[in-house]
Amino acid sequence: MDLSIVIPLYNEAENVGPLYAQLKTTLERVGREYEIIIVDDGSTDGSPNVLKRLHERDIRLKVIRFRRNFGQTAAFAAGFDHFQGQVVITMDADLQNDPADIHLLVEKIEEGYDVVSGWRLPRQDPFLTRRLPSMIANWLISQVTGVHLHDYGCSLKAYRREVVKNVQLYGDLHRFIPAIANWMGVSVAEVPVRHYPRRFGRSKYGLSRASRVLLDLLTVRFLLSYSTRPIHIFGGLGLISFAMGIGLGGYLSFAKFALGQDIGDRPLLLLAILLMVLGVQLISIGLLGELVVRTYYGALHKPIYAVREVLD
């Protein structure tokens, strides 16, 4: 199998038929062995019936149905667990991505890149509620992760098989796959793709997900930098806190015994005690984190490295 197209879907009954038709036309033109995997994320409209009819007509269309709505990340994870191709293409089911752009991603993969991300130009979404928050989030994610992309939120992406098979998805981390995969030393490229206004249905996203993106970004930053050495971040913060507490304690001791000042009712005394206790707690959390990490990697025999190839 050359190409696997993975598409999460939730309540897109009016879009799935035209999307399938466009995909068929595009993939036949590309001339590769392919499969289409649509993950129905607990749709409550007519989407399951449409998908069933399409599957009966085309054995290359694989449908995975969830019992309830688990979210887009879970849908991508299910698609990644079931695909067979050497290259996997992800995209949305709302017809805002153009299947005709798939060949652009495939050509970039064939140049030697491991991950190719789409960059929606021009983007056809409201400015204040969609584009402006997205611009801010893309800049912030690029600065924090070191993987500079203009459009992390674009679902039209291409990955080599070995990339997604080594990425564990949970929460809402699907948009951070290029950054997470970068830990393995993959090469990432970005290509402009077309974007269209939504014709049917309504968007499932809004400003409410901004806070979730920020929290997920903190998670990704921790995973990329400290997932195998949590003592470095918690222990470092603990040492700083403990040192500040010791410094304040030394100053108060000097004021008490050398200058004869009364320190019993001074807020600095409470702050010094708090900082020292906090430092001990943070160091303890770091040590517990080290135990958890070693248990995790040891029990699962999970490697802490990624091999590109072996010449033997």
What pLDDT shows up at residue 205? 63
Please return the burial class of 105, using the count of CB atoms within 10 Å of its CB with bins 0-12, 13-18 and 19+: buried
Are 87 and 106 in contact by the 8 Å Cβ rule? The answer is: yes
Range 140-169 average pLDDT: 88
- 37-71 tens-digit pLDDT: 999 998 988 899 999 999 999 989 999 999 888 88
- 107-139 tens-digit pLDDT: 999 999 999 999 998 888 888 777 888 888 889
Q: Is the dihedral of CA 290, 296, 302, 306 positive or negative?
A: negative
- Residue 28, classed as helix, strand or coil, is helix
Q: What is the mean pLDDT of the chain?
A: 86
Cα–Cα separations (whole angstroms), residue 289 to 14, 152, 235 = 48, 30, 10
Residue 219 scores a pLDDT above 80:
no
- Quote the CA–CA distance of 227 and 284 in Å, as a whole number: 16
Range 74-85 average pLDDT: 90
Range 235-257 average pLDDT: 92
Range 140-161 average pLDDT: 90
Residue 122: cis peptide before it, omega within 30 degrees of 0: yes
> Any idea which architecture 3-226 has in CATH?
Alpha-Beta Complex (3.90)
Are 220 and 183 in contact by the 8 Å Cβ rule? The answer is: no
What residue has token string 């802490």? 304
